Amino acid sequence: MRTQERSVFSLASTQGRALWVSTIAFTACFAVWTIFAIIGIRIKAELGLSETEFGLLVGTPILTGSLARIFLGIWTDRYGGRLVFTLNMLAASVATALLVFAHTYSQMLVTALGVGLAGGSFAVGIAYVSRFYQSGQQGTVLGIFGAGNVGAAVTKFLAPFALVAWGWHAVALIWAAVMAIMAVVFWFTTTDDPVTAERRRTGDAPKAYAMELAPLKDIRVWRFSFYYFFTFGAFVALALWLPRYLIGVYGFDIETAGMVAAAYSIPASIFRAYGGILSDRIGARAVMYWCFGISAAATLALSLPPTDYVMHGTHGPISAHFEINPPIFIGIAFVLGFFMSIGKAAVYKHVATYYPNNVGSVGGLVGMIGGLGGFVLPIAFGFLNQVTGLWTSCFMLLFVIVMALFVWMHVSIRRMERSTTNSSVAGESFVPAGGQV
């Protein structure tokens, strides 16, 4: 393996520590960010919440984490990821601990806003880590960092057992303590990124806010953002919703539901690193075609509700029953999670390639729109469940979204290809120095 590639996986180098410690920290952040996927079920029972109220509760931290990403990304570009990441983790830790003092639904929602700061760490991490590596490595590097999404699986795998043993208050306190410890470890094991270090050495002032935000006028940034609305936002929404779905549809207990939901979250997280490698090798655009195509097929299959029907045969009526059983559901969810994971990496390969000097602001906006998907969709799932009476309505909605994005992407690419003249590539089809996208 080449020296440049080995540095991506090395723990000994400064950049290796920045990557791996950031990834572990982001894993802890994501575990906290999705804590309501488990403790929210017990809170729902204690407070007698409706499906829509439950969806709002689990989605509220996602709202804060999403909105926070835009300014946290800008602050990271200006003040450095090491400082911003550490302070962000400490703030989220305090908010998580305060959950034990919330006793009403309104108090839960307010406290959940603070818990959501943990999700904003993504914008900090991608801007911080990307500055240690060259553009040709950034798909792989950002894919590895993004694999910290596996924190959702950590919560769904461990929190149910802690909840049954000690109650949901103990879960909140344990998760808060781990977050605080991780903040201290991060501060003492990492260094400032090269850009921040050089700026402090020379005394240069950071870019004006107007310059940081200038790329956000590009329509391409917004299209990438809506790609992420599905690849990441829908992942978060399902990570939050699946335990409730599995309990309601298949009658699982909370421990089993958590473990099965983890079977979805794990591939939707750890394979993100592979998605980064694929994006570096075959191009992020090709990865997105595979992501949207397979995701459309998977969500269509999962959207089919249990059905009893009668066929009129030659010898009289023939009754039949259709239903997706748990093993098939888990298998399709695994496939869906895998292709969403590689899609997440491909989106940020686009960001790092087209906007290398504005990864914080552009990545923050993309992350914000994606995170908003994780807020809006659980509420929509709860609402659709109440209105239609169909548990599979959540997958019907996801099928419509992914098909709309697939068509939008394909039409945009074809429009750019038609505008190509000679060997030059115009507009969105332009391939920057960072590699094929």
Indicate the CATH number for domain 11-417.
1.20.1250.20
Q: Phi/psi at 355 (nearest 5 deg)?
A: -130, 60
Write the CB contacts of 365 (distance below 8 Å, at least 6 apart in sequence).
69, 70, 73, 216, 221, 225
Q: Phi/psi at 310 (nearest 5 deg)?
A: -120, 130
CB 156 within 8 A of CB 258: yes
pLDDT on residue 283: 85
Determine whether 312 is exposed, middle or buried from the number of CB atoms within 10 Å of its CB (0-12, 13-18, 19+).
exposed
Write the CB contacts of 286 (distance below 8 Å, at least 6 apart in sequence).
none
**Which tokens in the block code for residue 230?**
């599905």
Q: Phi/psi at 325 (nearest 5 deg)?
A: -80, 165
Determine whether 213 is exposed, middle or buried from the number of CB atoms within 10 Å of its CB (0-12, 13-18, 19+).
middle
CA pair distance 261, 246, nearest whole angstrom: 8
CA pair distance 251, 198, nearest whole angstrom: 57
**Beta bridge partner(s), residue 352:** none
How far lies 7's CA from each of 190, 244, 315, in Å?
16, 42, 71
Q: Phi/psi at 390 (nearest 5 deg)?
A: -110, 120
Whose structure tokens read 């409730």?
Answer: 244
CA pair distance 99, 88, nearest whole angstrom: 17
Residuewise pLDDT in 10s, the chain (437 residues): 455 455 555 555 778 888 889 999 999 998 998 898 889 888 988 888 887 788 788 888 988 888 888 888 888 878 888 999 999 999 999 999 999 998 899 999 999 999 999 988 988 988 898 888 876 777 778 778 877 878 877 887 888 888 888 989 999 999 999 999 999 999 999 988 887 887 777 766 566 555 556 666 777 888 888 999 999 889 888 877 888 888 888 888 888 887 787 777 777 677 877 888 888 888 888 999 999 999 999 999 999 888 877 888 777 788 877 788 888 998 998 899 889 989 988 888 888 777 776 666 777 778 788 878 888 898 899 889 888 989 999 999 999 999 999 999 999 888 877 776 444 443 444 444 334 45
- SS3 per residue for the chain: CCHHHHHHHCCCCHHHHHHHHHHHHHHHHHHHHCCHHHHHHHHHHHHCCCHHHHHHHHHHHHHHHHHHHHHHHHHHHHHCHHHHHHHHHHHHHHHHHHHHHCCCHHHHHHHHHHHHHHHHHHHHHHHHHHCCCCHHHHHHHHHHHHHHHHHHHHHHHHHHHHHHHHCHHHHHHHHHHHHHHHHHHHHHHCCCCHHHHHHHHHCCCCCCHHHHHHHHHCHHHHHHHHHHHHHHHHHHHHHHHHHHHHHHHHCCCHHHHHHHHHHHHCHHHHCHHHHHHHHHHHCHHHHHHHHHHHHHHHHHHHCCCCEEEEEEECCEEEEEEECCCHHHHHHHHHHHHHHHHHHHHHHHHHHHHHCCCCHHHHHHHHHHHHHHHHHHHHHHHHHHHHHHCCCCHHHHHHHHHHHHHHHHHHHHHHHHHHCCECCECCHHHCCCCCCCC
Determine whether 153 is exposed, middle or buried from the number of CB atoms within 10 Å of its CB (0-12, 13-18, 19+).
buried
Give the domain ranges of the chain: 11-417
CB 32 within 8 A of CB 96: yes
